[in-house]
Amino acid sequence: MRPFLHPAAETLDLPRVLHALSDPARLEMVRRIAAAGELTCGALGVDRPKSSMSHHFRVLREAGVIRTRVAGAVHLNALRTEDIEGRFPGLLAVVLGGT
Amino acid sequence: MRPFLHPAAETLDLPRVLHALSDPARLEMVRRIAAAGELTCGALGVDRPKSSMSHHFRVLREAGVIRTRVAGAVHLNALRTEDIEGRFPGLLAVVLGGT
DNA sequence: TCCATAGTTCGTATTTTATCGAACACCAGA
DNA sequence: TCTGGTGTTCGATAAAATACGAACTATGGA
């Protein structure tokens, strides 16, 4: 399997991050990951086909919003809180707080 | 000509707003409007066909990011600063500050 | 080694978005 | 009322995003 792509913190692109967050499903995913700290795909509780979930994880990951690490048979996803906050201060508060 | 659609402040939708801002051209438009206070389409200085500009204005307007008012022969566009700030505090600072 | 579980990748269909020329609507001033 | 400047709408096309079944990879445990 291909290694995951995680853009460097300095190269995070605002339009790209905003686009990743502009999908309701992904926004919900981000909120749940933020609340839990680290989550596997399955533990998210979003009822969608695996391939769809995988797609959304990829968009978030390649925009630099989440980081995915392999832990045995599962993939753990965490918010790149510090990287995002360092580059776009305040953005996470908006996204995690907003209704 | 059809009247402009401006969603009520309370109905602003975060995913929709983020989507409107996730296009580099629109993000640039928003920054210039913010810097100038109020701008006509032509005064934006973005070198694109009029129909393309009109499209982007519409996306921003219908997401609730800008308000368009008719002043004689021109259309003046302004950021809906208070409405956005009221609903998504901190978002504008991120968008206007971020590189 | 076989099996179940977790998740990715591929292929494709569908939908949405972006782009832009051309025609149109509106206003102001000559 | 004609004309030039502004900007919108329409229509067509192209590009991008979404959705998801099926096949595949990788891991841990029986």
Which nucleotide, over all strands, has the C1' atom closest to the CA of B49? C20
Pairing of the two strands B38-40 and B66-71? unpaired
For A64-98, the pLDDT digits (tens) are 999 999 999 999 999 999 999 999 999 999 999 86
Domain enclosing residue A57, as ranges: 9-96
CA gap A12, B93 in Å, rounded: 17
In a domain, B1, yes or no: no
Contact B91, B84 (CB under 8 A): yes
Task: List per-residue pLDDT tens for chain B, 99 residues long.
Answer: 778 999 999 999 999 999 999 999 999 999 999 999 999 999 998 889 999 999 999 999 999 999 999 999 999 999 999 999 999 999 999 999 867
In a domain, A47, yes or no: yes
Q: Does residue B3 belong to the interface with chain A, where contact is any CB pair within 8 Å?
A: no
Contact B79, B71 (CB under 8 A): no
In a domain, B59, yes or no: yes
Q: Which of A12, A22, A28 is the mutation pick for testing B, counting most B CBs within 10 A?
A: A22
pTM (two decimals): 0.95
Contact B34, B73 (CB under 8 A): no
Looking at the structure of chain B, the number of domains it has is 1
CATH number assigned to the domain comprising residue A89: 1.10.10.10
